[in-house]
Structure 1
Amino acid sequence: MNFINIVGIIFAITVMLFAMLFGNPQPMKMLNAHGAIIVLGGTMACVGIAFQLPRALSMVRVFFKGILTTSLSRDINKQIIQEMMVMAEAFRNNDPKLAEMIDAVKDPFMKESLTAITDEVLDPSRLLKVLHSRVNTIYERYADDAKMFIACGKYPPAMGLMGAVTGMIFLLGSLGEPGAEKSIGPNMSIALIATLYGIALANLFIIPVGEYLQEIAKRIRTKNFIIVEGIRHIQTRQNPVVLAEELNSFLLPSERVDWKSLGKK
């Protein structure tokens, strides 16, 4: 469970409600079915047209899986390198428990990569090409999900403006009626609520989700490239220390594995 994202979503909703209700003598006027229908309905229609229905419906799955459950710790790459060092030593020594060690690997991509070595279906060079292709495929899929959310961020404000214009048309159309001057202010505020809904939906939820998925895609790609490079060293039965030094090249100095301290433990 990704608690940070959950807290962020709750905080965004709280800020929105606080801004709408605090100091407002008539908070119920902030609720407007006309604006909500145009913004939500219009956005869903645009998304369905732009991405086709099956792909659009997958956004719900991506939201719950990517935002509420997917979480990569900042030291994930360091952990990967340390685990690759252990596996490199096991392969060098033909550890009898190698199969059990591979089964215990938690990262799916690392697990299937190590299994591919033991299966010996592909020669080393071809296996590396296959793994690189898989890295790119995984990244492109995550990046596509991110682009989809970011692209959808332009629809709610536009639908909100449409709702505001619709409300203004109704307002101007009633100006000739008796007592119309008393309803100008209230009707104007109702017309603008649709714009508020659209801006809030886009900038508090949709766009941040897309940018988060974009960041996750980049971090997963880096992690997987580290794994592929580690596989290359394991194939040649490279020394774990050499492997660590090579893989540290992917990380900033503060993030790198200190293999010297590991040897002292």
Structure 2
Amino acid sequence: MNIFSIIFLVVSFGSMIGAFILEGGSPTMLAAGSAAIIVFGGTIGSVGLGTSPKKLKNIPAMLKIIFTAKEKDLVEIVNYFKQLSFKTRKEGLLSIEAEITDELDPFMKKGLQLVVDGVDPQMVKTILEFELESTYDRHKENAAIFESAGGFAPTMGVIGTVMGLVQVLSNLADPSVLGEKIAVAFIATLYGVGSANLIFLPLGARLKDLNNEETKEKQLIIEAVLLMQEGANPNILAEKLKGFLDKKQIKRFDEINNEGIQ
């Protein structure tokens, strides 16, 4: 479980509700069943109308990824390929076959299998890059579902507010309850804008961020596989792959390898 996602979600809602309470409001004042039905029901309906059923079925899997995804350890991958490069230079490319197990990352496994099968380097690059592009586009489309919901929700909120005000204006006989009814009407706008900016758009942004991380990881793997296939010196291979790392990751990589030398 990605605890940070849960923490920031709680902080978002907690800040809004906490500030409302500090201003003298009560959490029960924010509860409006009719507004929730209009906003969330309308948003779900609009998203469902504009999205294929096949993609909608992936939403539970997307949410699982958002709240359980682990940070990509690029340092470990660079170090893995450096050690594997030492092995192939000593025992040949066919020695990689022993490394191809079910525990290995599927994309990495595919790249190594292509090398073992003796596929031409240019074809290896083409195959892996095509899979990378396909994965990137698919994940981008998944993120667009939440971004779409983030666009519909505020509009549904406005619709809910207008519907509420229509009821208010059609019944002005009792001025004493007008304030309460108007407040309830505006809850729909709150739900729409709040859900868009606290739930839907952040979820879409998180998926895009995870997609970018995965893309970077796969680009590193492609480069590593090709360098290893051409028989690059392990140290040269590592130096080139370090270009995918940030300063902290490079420092950590150097520390790990310096410990191995001592």
Which residue of the partner structure matches residue 233 of structure 2?
239
Residue 70 of structure 2 is aligned to residue 71 of structure 1: yes
CA shift for structure 1 position 20: 4.7
Q: Cα deviation per residue 1:35-94 (whole Å; 9 max; x = unaligned)?
A: 000001000010011113332332232112x21112224xx2222111110111122122
Which residue of the partner structure matches residue 77 of structure 2?
80
Could you tell me whether the CA contact under 8 Å between 1:20 and 1:30 is conserved in 2?
Answer: no
Which residue of the partner structure matches residue 108 of structure 1?
106
| Residues in 2 aligned to 1:109 and 1:232: alpha-carbon distance in whole angstroms | 14
| Residues in 2 aligned to 1:9 and 1:27: alpha-carbon distance in whole angstroms | 18
CA shift for structure 1 position 101: 3.0
Which residue of the partner structure matches residue 11 of structure 1?
11
* Length-normalised TM-score, structure 1: 0.88
Q: Cα deviation per residue 1:190-234 (whole Å; 9 max; x = unaligned)?
A: 001111111111111111111111111111111111110111111
**SS across alignment from 2:91:** coil
Could you tell me whether the CA contact under 8 Å between 1:105 and 1:111 is conserved in 2?
Answer: no
Q: Give unmatched runs, 5+ long, in structure 2.
A: none
CA shift for structure 1 position 249: 2.1
Which range moves more in the overlay, 107-116 or 93-102? 93-102
**SS across alignment from 2:57:** helix
One-letter amino acid of the structure 1 residue matched with residue 236 of structure 2: V
Q: 1:27 to 1:133 in 2, by over 3 A?
A: closer
One-letter amino acid of the structure 2 residue matched with residue 72 of structure 1: E
CA shift for structure 1 position 153: 0.6
Could you tell me whether the CA contact under 8 Å between 1:142 and 1:213 is conserved in 2?
Answer: yes
CA shift for structure 1 position 22: 5.1
Which residue of the partner structure matches residue 90 of structure 1?
87
| Residues in 2 aligned to 1:136 and 1:189: alpha-carbon distance in whole angstroms | 49
Q: 1:24 to 1:237 in 2, by over 3 A?
A: same
| Residues in 1 aligned to 2:83 and 2:209: alpha-carbon distance in whole angstroms | 28
Q: Cα deviation per residue 1:114-146 (whole Å; 9 max; x = unaligned)?
A: 1221233x2222111101111111111112212
When the two chains are superposed, the root-mean-square deviation of aligned CA atoms in Å is: 2.3
Which residue of the partner structure matches residue 117 of structure 1?
115
Match of 1:137 among 134, 137, 145: 134
Which residue of the partner structure matches residue 216 of structure 1?
210
Residue 38 of structure 2 is aligned to residue 38 of structure 1: yes
Residue 162 of structure 2 is aligned to residue 174 of structure 1: no
Q: Matches of residues 198-209 of structure 1 in structure 2 within 5 Å?
A: 198-209=192-203
One-letter amino acid of the structure 2 residue matched with residue 237 of structure 1: G
Q: 1:260 to 1:82 in 2, by over 3 A?
A: closer
Q: Give unmatched runs, 5+ long, in structure 1.
A: none
Q: Cα deviation per residue 1:143-164 (whole Å; 9 max; x = unaligned)?
A: 2212222222111111111110
Residue correspondences, number? 258
Which residue of the partner structure matches residue 242 of structure 2?
248
Could you tell me whether the CA contact under 8 Å between 1:12 and 1:204 is conserved in 2?
Answer: yes
One-letter amino acid of the structure 2 residue matched with residue 119 of structure 1: D
CA shift for structure 1 position 17: 3.9
Which residue of the partner structure matches residue 61 of structure 1?
61
| Residues in 2 aligned to 1:262 and 1:84: alpha-carbon distance in whole angstroms | 18
Identity over the aligned pairs, expressed in percent?
Answer: 27
One-letter amino acid of the structure 1 residue matched with residue 107 of structure 2: F
